[in-house]
Structure 1
Amino acid sequence: MKFSIVCQCTGVGCNLCEGTGFIPSTDLHFADLKEGVSYKVIGPYSDEFSFAEAYIKRGTDTLSFTFTSQDEANGGQSQNAELRIVVFKIELLGLLRNIGIKYGIPENESEFLIKHLVDYQDLDVYQVSDLVEVIGVGIEEAEMTGNLREWDSKYGTTLRCMVSILPKSEWSVDLDYAELCGYIVDRMNRDNVTLLWALREFEKDRSNARGVSVLDILVRSVKTLGQLERDIMLKMKPVQPFILSKKHKEVAEKALQSYIEFSPLTPKSINRGCCEDFAEYLNSSYTSEGLSSHETFCTFDFISSNVSLSDYTGDCECIKDWREDSMSSLGVPFKYFQEYRKKVEKFEPKSLVCYHVWLYDGKYHYDSECLDGVINPLELPFFQRLTMGQN
């Protein structure tokens, strides 16, 4: 990496920077950084939070990082470079170090950051390269992946209040909305209060999404109060007492054999174009035996309510339109979805996913390949194949 200091000159005849605006420098230490002076680091740095250039500036009690995106093709700065700004209180580093010392190094996305803070406790000797690659990128990742949120909830801290990141990622916005919905549902169920009362309590509670108002969250999430009320009611809807009884299981197994008996289909190939028809066939088999039918779900149920289904004209949809607030009620944990999405995008950069239909008995999701069912629908064989570049 190359290092330089942003020159404070105002003319092209400067003897220090020779009109370039940057004074070449060595890899300085944190103790050498002067307040209010920008230091430039030229990458590239390549991972999920890659950058071509980074600027670091020390404030009285803060550190700020400005990252410019790199061109994926050549590793240099993109012609239409995007800026990512990360600002946090220096005090945060000590709190994170204490978490690592007291509770151990976490096994999540922030493992490297926390381990570095624990192993190297003297901030003054940190080099600029460490500050950018480990600290700046690490804090950004800890916030974007929800690690700070997790620790605040687990340890009663307010780590998120010490960090500001712009622009907000889609995942971060979704997390705030999902947290709002979860909080409201919990208060209404636990304390038997009204929606408006729960909304007011959310804004008074300092442990919510960084103290932002309900209106801020709705605006950032492009949601109306009506949509929020609808999503709350959906989450509060009691689970249907269907459950795949022994009789249901027997009928399902016979129906599957009957469905494929006089055709070239297999349980696996049913899920390549006949899944919706099979789901209807199963439910009709249940009702003909005097049993209750089961609820039907499809991949469109993962899509955010502010994405129009009319945008999809084929049999595929984009995984980028799947939203945590739409998926959590179906048994998909947010962290699981994050890892799942990364695996899928390794094989399918456009993140296209084929349309799929399955049944839900009130506890388990199941289809022709998995009559025993799974609690998390993304663990159905159909979805697991996508993580291996199949289907």
Structure 2
Amino acid sequence: MKHFEANFDGLVGPTHNYAGLSFGNVASYNNAAQHSNPKAAAKQGLQKAKALADLGMVQGVLAPQERPDLSTLRRIGFSGTDVQVLSDAAKQAPALLNSCCSASSMWTANAATVSPSADTRNGKVHFTPANLVDKLHRSIEPLTTGNILQATFNDERHFQHHHHLPEHAHFGDEGAANHTRLCSDYGHAGVELFVFGQSATQANMPKPAKFPARQTLEASQAVSRLHQLDEESCVFMQQNPEVIDLGVFHNDVISVGNQNVLFYHEQAFLDTQSKFDEIRRKMNTNVHFINVATEQVAIADAVKSYLFNTQIITLPNGNMAIIAPSDCQENPAVHAYLNELLTLNTPIKQVLYFDVKQSMQNGGGPACLRLRVAMNEQEVAAVNQHTLLNDDVFNRLNLWVDKHYRDQLAVSDLADPQLLIESRTALDELTQILKLGSVYQFQR
């Protein structure tokens, strides 16, 4: 039976904007209050996803969430008609309105943690939506994320869905952005690397001083239990708190893995050597640890270019390729390093660059835009086929974007009642294109 690693990219929502909501995310903060282009953002994401499909990869899409999120505004005391709720929120609590208009669900690396059937005791693919409790604008996502995942992976014979972890900082969970699966082959049992920023219960463990550590050890351990992973299938590793304070808010901003390759910055982790030894022992196969030294790429350049927020994919010919933002090409140090990387004896043989600047300016690169799901051919066949990208779906989604999305959006536009109508109309049509049913029932 064939095995694949599918990528499910988040469709950028109609309210894509730069409100600077994510403290600790340097790009998000630096570009706050700029005008965004939702139409360009959606098309850039679709183009990158279609390019991977054309390379022979299994590629799907995940729907955006309904924004503005009036249900949350009503829960915190705003009432009346929809227009009144928007108007009052804009006047009385504009920061709350901005949070309820965030299109951050586009970054599906934060949607959930996924464990493939080859790793789990009951032989099913497991999904746990991230609770994202560290940021208000993301903490309102998990219920709808769970609905979207269940509408996409909707065959209980193959897929098992869990509720998100308790909504408390003790179990701060940011999903696959802090989780990497290493294996010799997608269909073989592998090692799931859970990277955390701090412990909620062990006060003697180091933690960052400036920016929050969004993932806790306790959350990672809870997900591993839910997913029925054996001890020999897991490694728990702490991210270096010093790099968190330099703007590395998730592990996927400082390292990325694929099969038997882990591509990382030398400052990424604590206790690096002993944890790598544990990975080697549990993998029981050759692992390529590709170390990028600070003298080659400084942390500031890695964060600015998102060198590590790239995708590493295995092409049908067996070679690996890096899917990088064009920002890596424009950064002299990073571009020079990637050119050198291709001369080294590693499985990575190609670098492909894509323009995803609308996402980059809000703090998310190519890896943020996708959720990886390793599956066998039976499991791929059990996925909602309307969510898998082909020429027809790609063309329909592009026409959908052209029909419903604005090409300019200011933060002040978020209170526009017409934007709410446009967003709801777009999502109503999208549910028909992707055959999603009533995934937005919690948002109305």
TM-score range, shorter chain: under 0.3
Instruction: Identify the structure with bigger relative contact order (alpha carbons < 8 Å, sequence gap 6+).
Output: 2
- With the length of structure 1 as denominator, give the TM-score of the two structures: 0.25
| Structure number with bigger Rg | 1
TM-score using structure 2 length: 0.23
